[in-house]
Structure 1
Amino acid sequence: MSQPGPHDQPGSLDEAAQQQLIQEIGRIIVRALPPGWREATVEYRELGPHHELVAQLIAPNGTAIPLAAPADVAELFVRLRHGMYQPDRGTWVSALYRLQRPGSYTVDFNGDFEPSWRTAPPPAAFAEELRRFPRPAAVTPEWLGLRGGSGPGLRTAEVFDEDGRPITERPQINPAERDQVIDYLEQAPIVLAARSFDTDRLDPNRNPAVPMTFHTDGSWIWPGAVGYYLRQHGVAPEAELVAHIRSRSFLVPDVDEPRREQAVAVITGEHR
């Protein structure tokens, strides 16, 4: 399959050019449909170098009948996806083209949810997608950021301010969730650790007991001090980290080795 040329910059298609491509895709699909068709769908899915093209006829009773899609359509979808890229949003990963006789059509573009792949993309495809079409972390879906391994979706939480004091001016955690948040913070994989313990900044007379560790759940990185100060002094973590933990139902996910290595690179400053 051909790719956009080096002179074609991502996001180079204006609204009129996008509509022209969309209409051309529709014309090619219609020419390939069998006589008597009433409704058909064509879905194109792409992530990095991985791509799929699925076409179906929709019978009057709603039954989907597999259909061979013309190869030319895939190349036009590639150009459309490349040209619709936006630096602040990325681009879509699947497009569903629905046609109804005699001449109506709709196109739904999906840039947020993982497509229902026929064959799962290889792990490298996630990182390649983010290399080709970078997105800000705030708009990178977790399924893509977690497996992309290239910064988006990997955030660092702090427990101390610029003067080295624990940050106490944060929303308090619901007492009913406190223990679950602590368990999450402490049970997430440790990716970097020192053999010694640090001094408690809120109780300097206590024997050093603050763990000098770093944890990650594949989306966030935080020092062991975050869980310690919550457990010992009720110092809440960043509100966004708490919301993230809550969104995962307080269950620590599996974190694969490449993602752990990525976390270490971020902590040590080797990440670029």
Structure 2
Amino acid sequence: MTLSRPERIDLLLTPQRQGREPQQRAQLDSLAAIERVVIDATIDLLAPGQKFALLWSLQVGENAVAGVQIKERDGTVTNLMPPTEVLDYLTDHKRMSYNPDVGAWLSAEIFIAGPTRYKTNYSTTAVADWMPEISADDLTAEFAAFPRPDAEIPDWARSQLDWAARRTG
């Protein structure tokens, strides 16, 4: 399944469902359980006739966002904000999947074609160019919260941190 490259979406930083009381969410104890819940919640957003969705999340330092892109039959892409608990569960997933040898994932893409037809990509090194920008402060916070060996810091992140240090130093 291939979705068209989306435009960068800053509007996803605004909650979709204002005025609703937050519900208590279950604490899930496995990565598979978290994936099941976020996939089901994403499928619940689909309207009749919509078949393919991309659930994405960017989580670097204090910058944590998520969105859903739905490919329409005519090829257009509709962008939605997932329920708040989806971002919360993805944050749990990141924390639970942290590995000190490689770090924690920075971006996630889950391509969904049905309840049992999906493909996940959690990247510890890459962030799609259409995702929100990452600041040097967010990178610094990320590597403090989820340390990794120097060799596992992506070149683009190292360059951004070096540039920020030269600019302020």
TM bucket, shorter chain: 0.7 to 0.9
C-alpha separation between the residues in 1 aligned to 2:34 and 2:157?
Answer: 27
- Structure 1 unmatched runs, 5+: 1-12, 149-217, 219-254, 263-272
Q: What is the identity, as a one-letter code, of the residue corresponding to 2:77?
A: A
Give the TM-score, by structure 1 length.
0.47
Contact 1:38/1:101 (8 A) holds in 2:
yes
The match for 1:83 among 80, 91, 96 is 96
Q: Secondary structure at the match of 1:80?
A: helix
Residue identity (%): 22
Aligned length: 141
Q: Which residue of 2 aligns with 1:35?
A: 48
Contact 2:57/2:67 (8 A) holds in 1:
yes
- Structure 2 unmatched runs, 5+: 1-28
Matching of residues 80-229 of structure 1 within 5 Å: 80-101=93-114, 103-148=116-161, 218=162
C-alpha separation between the residues in 2 aligned to 1:89 and 1:101?
Answer: 31
The match for 1:67 among 80, 98, 116 is 80
Q: Which residue of 1 aligns with 2:38?
A: 25
C-alpha separation between the residues in 1 aligned to 2:36 and 2:142?
Answer: 26
Aligned-residue Cα RMSD (Å) equals 2.2
Runs of 4+ deviating beyond 3 Å: 259-262
Pairwise CA distance, 1:29: 1.3
1:74-94 Cα shifts (integer Å, max 9, x gaps): 000000011110000001111
Q: Greater RCO between the two (CA within 8 Å, min separation 6)? A: 2
Q: Which residue of 1 aligns with 2:59?
A: 46
1:134-156 Cα shifts (integer Å, max 9, x gaps): 110111111222334xxxxxxxx
Structure with larger Rg: 1
Give the TM-score, by structure 2 length.
0.73
Pairwise CA distance, 1:121: 2.7
